Amino acid sequence: MNKITEKFYLSENVVRIALEAPEIAKKRKAGQFVVIMTGEKGERIPLTIADSDAEKGTITIIFQIVGKTTACLAALNAGDNISGVQGPLGNPTEIDNFGTVVCVGGGVGVGVVYPIAVSLRKAGNRVVSIIGARTRDLLILKDEMKKTSDELIVTTDDGSYGFHGFVSGVLQNLIDSDEKIDRVFAIGPVPMMQAICDVTRPYKIKTIVSLNPIMVDATGMCGACRVSVKGETRFACVDGPEFDGHEVDFNLLASRLRMYLNQERESMKRCRCGKDER
Amino acid sequence: MKGKKERETVHRQGMPEQDPKARIRNFDEVPLGYTEEMAVAEAKRCIQCKKPLCIGGCPVDVDIPGFIKLIAEGDFIGAARRLKEANILPAVCGRVCPQEDQCEKICVLGKKGEPVAIGRLERFAADYERESGNITVPEIALSTGKKVAVVGAGPAGLTIAGDLVKLGHEVFIFEALHKAGGVLVYGIPEFRLPKKIVEAEVDYLKKTGVKIITNTVIGRLKTVDELFEEGFGAVFLGVGAGAPVFMHIPGENLSGIYSANEYLTRSNPMKAYRFPEYDTPIVRGKNVAVIGGGNVAMDSVRTALRLGAENAYIIYRRTEVEMPARIEEVHHAGQEGVQFKLLTNPVEYIGDKDGWVKEMKCLRMELGEPDESGRRRPVPIKGSEFVMDVDTVVVAVGTMANPIIPATTPGLETNRWGHVTVRDENGETSRRGVYAGGDIVTGSATVILAMGAGRKAARAIDEYLKS
């Protein structure tokens, strides 16, 4: 059992919660994730650790309401318990002083790229961040990203805030402006990560992506999260979750993510979490 | 008492079972268990050899004639307690041990007729005790003040914990998943081993004072070295061989293709067969091919049937003779309508436009010269390629060691397969105070062999802590 100590809506469907998990809070590093179960009949879902407070013994996770489990999690409040948190899992981000790094976050992916940006800044990098969302109301962690970046560029698909367009377009402009970029970290929806990799590939700028395939045990036991990297099958849970984006088969990732679409819809339709209050 | 001659003429008591037609519609247990009368009749078949061979066939040295005599006398609780002196999981072992290759194989009665049904009697006594609620906790020795960390709550870990706690040590089991039981929980289906039985055996262990900490991945949350820093005097690694093996053939990552570990984990502990009451989904395929011929393959294919498959196939590259699965499992699968495609090997999967598996390309095989395992090597027949329609595939061709612990424990030696190297049968590793046993040492084997390894390591750790 782990108690929720804080809950905050970052946007209409993106939620930040802090959870009691003292040992994980002490141990976790940027890039790692946890698996949570909301209750006995729940499923195991992986969520990246956005932040932690070792003194308070809490970790922070940021998630988008996309299905039943996230809807139920969002319906809980400070003081409520969930049945379990397992972690930290996955390999930490490789952090070094690379020089100038660009951290790109799309949608809820900003929550994942945020702790990486914090660590990169601490390691002495010049951090340029590009964050984007479909529209102004869905932008998250703008202030936090601003604080941890030397430069922050904000985009919206509909132009309702900041640059009008996609994060990939902004990155292209940055490259065209002769900014010397040593490494790119791109986290967000699959098409966004793919687009970023397409932008950086011709310039051979190493681009790290964090993959979010479906997982069950998340300890290397089941292979649900297998992805193809450089033509080889890897498990995102133990070999990743971060990989060189130029070597990732994004089409396979996207099609495997759709495997349970029908069941996910059915589950969501039956779920009452959050629906009654609206 | 009957005379010796009369006794031998009594036939081995058959096991009542759920009808195959009914049982492929549910996940309830298939064998129903002996009645008291059947158990007593079967127990009386045991001739109580002065030098019983059967005990030598048991990896944990159960006093087999002893517990059977108690059943014959009607003291079922006494029989269960006698079993538990040597075996902390009798209700489990009575169900999943390969008795036909162990105790029953060398039972004297088996030489001329049928051996005593030792496994069924073990199950009967354990079930009787559990259902009676008349469970007593064994005597615990005075506290030694020593702490032992057991990594993995599977058969090896549960056994060693039970033994060490009785000797007065403080025992903590660290389990990666949210439930204790290891393969008993994630691997073996409900219809072969009801989960309430595993829960009862785990609860019993907790009553003896063992502390079970779930959701804790050693190597990630804390390393083996950090366990020593926290004051543990010894560490036992019983983490199993949990990593799935794939065949690395084209199309293996298409949607609808599972490892047996994933398929069974979704169905067993996550209870996907009760979706949407439980949240974890599973694909309910119509044409399901399970690749492999072991117990895990049988468990998977019988799960597929229960999930509503119209055609459930076993695809195995050798013949039934070489199948590693227990005869009983193959028999049950056959009764339930599983179709065996033997001397057949998949070479490629073909997907539809959405990336979902729709066809499997196979080759027919023939048996050639024996290989290093002693079994005749399957050789592909030229030009024998054919295609089968499938919408779900479960790859059950084996498992290998999970690398998390070796990768995070400096100085822990492993062999070329990643299995932890031990110095002797006590499970001593290359690291002082670190012991290992079960599948992480041997590679995939049986529940009872892992328990035997746990038992031997318990004695060794006890001596190590006292020295």
Contact A41 B278 (CB under 8 A): yes
Q: What is the pTM of this model?
A: 0.94
Q: Which residues of A touch B177 (CB under 8 A)?
A: 86, 217, 219
Interface mutation target, options B174, B253, B275, B278, chain A, most CBs of A under 10 Å: B253
Provide mean pLDDT across the span B324-332. 93
Cα-trace Rg, chain A: 18
Determine the residue among B174, B215, B263, B354 to mutate to test chain A binding: the one whose Cβ has the most chain A Cβ atoms within 10 Å: B215
Nearest to A267 among B243, B246, B279 (CB): B279
Q: Where are the beta strands (DSSP E) in chain A?
A: 2-9, 14-20, 33-37, 45-53, 58-64, 81-82, 84-89, 100-106, 126-133, 151-156, 163-164, 183-187, 207-210, 226-229, 232-235, 242-244
* Mean predicted confidence (pLDDT) in A107-130: 96
Sign of the Cα torsion B274, B276, B282, B284 reads positive
How far is A153 from chain B, CA to nearest CA, in Å? 35
A18 burial via Cβ count (<10 Å: 0-12, 13-18, 19+): buried
pLDDT tens for each residue of B191-225? 999 999 999 999 999 999 999 999 999 999 999 99
Task: Show residues of chain B in contact with A23, CB under 8 Å.
Answer: 221-222
CB contact under 8 A, A84 and B244: no
pLDDT tens digit sequence for B409-445 = 999 999 999 999 999 999 999 999 999 999 999 998 8
Give the pLDDT band (50/70/90) at residue B138. confident
Phi, psi values for residue A275, rounded to 5°: -75, -35
- Does residue A277 have a pLDDT over 70? no
pLDDT score, position B374: 82
Residue of A23, A216, A258 with shortest CB distance to B262: A216
Per-residue pLDDT averaged across B166-182, rounded? 96
Confidence of residue B371 (pLDDT cuts 50, 70, 90): confident
Of how many residues is chain A composed? 278
Interhelix angle B76-86/B118-132, rounded to 10 degrees, is: 110
Q: How confident is the model at residue B347 (pLDDT cuts 50, 70, 90)?
A: very high
Residues with Cβ within 8 Å of B343's Cβ and at least 6 positions away in sequence, in order, are: B316, B317, B318, B319, B364, B365, B366, B367, B378
Instruction: Say whether the peptide bond before residue B370 is cis (omega within 30 degrees of 0).
Output: no
**Token pair for residue A242?**
């971060």
| pLDDT for the residue numbered A276 | 58
Q: Do B176 and A217 touch (CB under 8 A)?
A: yes
The helix (H) or strand (E) run that includes residue B376 is strand B376-380
User: In this complex, do A220 and B402 lie within 8 Å of one another by their Cβ atoms?
Assistant: yes
Contacting residues of A for B243, CB less than 8 Å apart: 220-221
Q: Is A76 on the interface with B (CB under 8 A)?
A: no
Q: Which two tokens stand for residue B204?
A: 């019993």
Q: Is B182 helix (H, G, I), strand (E, B) or coil?
A: coil
Find, in chain B, the residue whose alpha carbon is nearest to that of A38. Answer: B279
Question: Higher model confidence: residue B349 or residue B134?
Answer: B349
pLDDT value of position A163: 93
- A158, A214, A220: which is closest to B281 by C-alpha? A214
- Output the pLDDT for position B1: 47
| Cα distance between residue B360 and residue B423, in whole Å | 44
Confidence band, pLDDT 50/70/90 cuts, at residue A278: very low
Confidence bin at B67 (pLDDT 50/70/90): very high
Paired tokens of B462: 């006890």
Count of Cβ atoms closer than 10 Å to residue B110 Cβ: 16
Chain A hits for B216, Cβ within 8 Å: 86
Asked if A20 is an interface residue toward chain B (Cβ–Cβ < 8 A), one would say: no
% of residues, chain A, pLDDT over 70: 99
CB pairs under 8 A between A and B: 116
**A222 with B255: Cβ contact below 8 A:** no
Asked if A92 reaches chain B (Cβ–Cβ under 8 Å), the answer is: no
User: According to the model, what pLDDT value does residue B53 have?
Assistant: 95
Query: For B24-53, what is the mean pLDDT?
Result: 95
Site from A216, A248, A260 to mutate, B interface, most B CB atoms within 10 angstroms: A216
User: What whole-number distance in Å separates Cα of residue B375 and Cα of residue A201?
Assistant: 50
Q: Which two tokens stand for residue B203?
A: 């609860």
Q: Of B179, B214, B221, which to mutate for an interface test with A (greatest number of A Cβ within 10 Å)?
A: B221
Closest CA of chain B from A13, distance in Å: 21
**In the predicted model, is pLDDT for residue B6 greater than 70?**
no
Of A218-222, B82-86, B118-122, B133-137, give the lowest mean pLDDT range: B133-137
Query: Going along A124-206, which residue ranges are E strands?
Result: 126-133, 151-156, 163-164, 183-187
Residue B9's pLDDT band, with cuts at 50, 70 and 90, is low
In this prediction, residue B136 carries a pLDDT of 81
pLDDT tens across B450-466, in order? 999 999 999 999 999 99
Q: What is the mean pLDDT of residues B34-52?
A: 96
Q: A152-155 — which CB contacts under 8 Å span 24+ positions?
A: A152/A128, A153/A128, A153/A129, A154/A130, A155/A130, A155/A131
Each residue's pLDDT tens digit, B281-293:
999 999 999 999 9
Enumerate the β-bridge partners of residue B122.
none
In tens, the pLDDT along A152-191 reads 999 999 999 999 999 999 999 999 998 899 999 999 999 9
Mean pLDDT over A197-221 rounds to 96
Mean pLDDT score, B165-172: 96
In the predicted model, what is the mean pLDDT of residues B368-386? 90
Confidence of residue A227 (pLDDT cuts 50, 70, 90): very high
User: How many CA atoms lie less than 13 Å away from B246 in the CB half-sphere?
Assistant: 24
A70 contact residues in B (CB cutoff 8 A):
none
